Amino acid sequence: MSRVETAPAALAPVVAVAAGPKAQTLPGFLALFRSELTLTFRRARTMALLGVLAVVPILIGVVVRLETGDMRGGGGPAFIAQVTQNGVFLTFTALAVSMPVFLPMTVGVVAGDSVAGEAATGTLRYLLVAPAGRSRLLAAKFTAAMAFCVAATLAVALSGLIIGSILFPVGDVTLLSGDTIGLGAALLRVVLISGVVALSLAGLVAVGLFISTLTNSGIAAMASTVGLVIIVQVLDSFPQLHAIQPWLLTHYWLSFGDLLRQPMYWHAIWQDLGLQALYVAIFGSAAWARFTSRDITA
């Protein structure tokens, strides 16, 4: 009996797609991606991570509501002061709070475990012996991890929007520049900012995927990815390192605040997205080089 035939039941859909005659075609890749997506979101850990992210805006909203008492009161940092006047701003505040810590940690867990986790359980061998191609499998894992980035960002944004609407007034939004826009335009900015935040995590996904190809321990890969993010953010806080800080993965993560002005400032956003693309190119290539030459018998 072959290894593919003895694959665990949980991996059967992926193996079936990988072993199929259309594995090298675009429809075959999309089927492989759907299987990876199903495996990612069927894990209890993934749903728990999304649940934790959804709780963050609730905690922020409750604390701000209790501290301010009167919803018409102001004071505090720009985002916090705006929350008390318009609940839509709770979404932006929650994203600003989640971006440095909570979102990178959850994404680091998913990306770091994508290859190493399956290697640890022995299921990776069943995938690598199938004729789907290692490059396509790695691309499917990257795309599934990016889908998690979108889901994680939406968990924060939608939770913030709902709890903000419950606890605070909602109406025309006064931007950080002092200009006022309608509620519909503000919701469009919520969508735009959520997209920018999700794309800002692409570099981290590539780094986590690369680290995941270096070890057979899912825990080690997850810890290394999250630890690396923490180290990079510490380095980004030292003024003495200003020469290298624009090249650090996390440097432009909070630049989405420039989209809360009229007109919107795009310079830092494009720098952020360009930097993420650079990290994806470098660490994605490194992950591909490692993964395509990996010993599947180990």
pLDDT surpasses 60 at 214? yes
Q: Which two tokens stand for residue 195?
A: 């997209």
Helix axes 202-212, 102-121, angle to 10 degrees: 30
pLDDT above 80: residue 298: no
What is residue 193's predicted lDDT score, i.e. its pLDDT? 96
- Per-residue pLDDT for 36 more than 80? yes
Q: What are 57-73's pLDDT values in tens digits?
A: 999 999 888 876 544 44
How far apart, in whole angstroms, are the C-alpha atoms of residue 139 and residue 142? 5
| The Cα angle at residue 179 between residues 176 and 184, in degrees rounded to 5 | 95
Cβ-contact 89, 82 below 8 angstroms: yes
**Confidence band for 53, pLDDT divided at 50, 70 and 90:** very high
- The pLDDT, as a whole number, for residue 293 is 76
Domain ranges of the chain: 9-292
DSSP-assigned letter for residue 178: S
Q: State the pLDDT at residue 80.
A: 67
**What sign results for the dihedral spanned by CA atoms 45, 275, 259, 77?**
positive
**pLDDT of 296 strictly over 70:** no
> By CB neighbour count within 10 A (0-12 exposed, 13-18 middle, 19+ buried), where does 136 fall?
middle
Rounded CA gap, 226 and 233, in Å?
A: 11
pLDDT, tens digit (0-9, with 9 covering 90-100), for 98-120: 999 899 999 999 988 887 766 55
Q: Which residues of 220-230 are buried (b: 16+ CB within 10 A; e: fewer)?
A: bbbebbbebbe
Q: Could you tell me if 168 and 71 are in contact, meaning their C-beta atoms sit under 8 angstroms apart?
A: yes
215 vs 274: which has the higher pLDDT: 274
Bridge partners (DSSP) listed for residue 180: 174
Alpha carbon distance 90, 169 (integer Å): 11
> Positive or negative, the Cα torsion across 49, 290, 134, 146?
positive
Q: pLDDT category, 40, cuts 50, 70, 90?
A: confident
**What digits encode the pLDDT tens for the residues 130-168?**
555 778 888 889 999 999 999 999 999 999 999 999 999
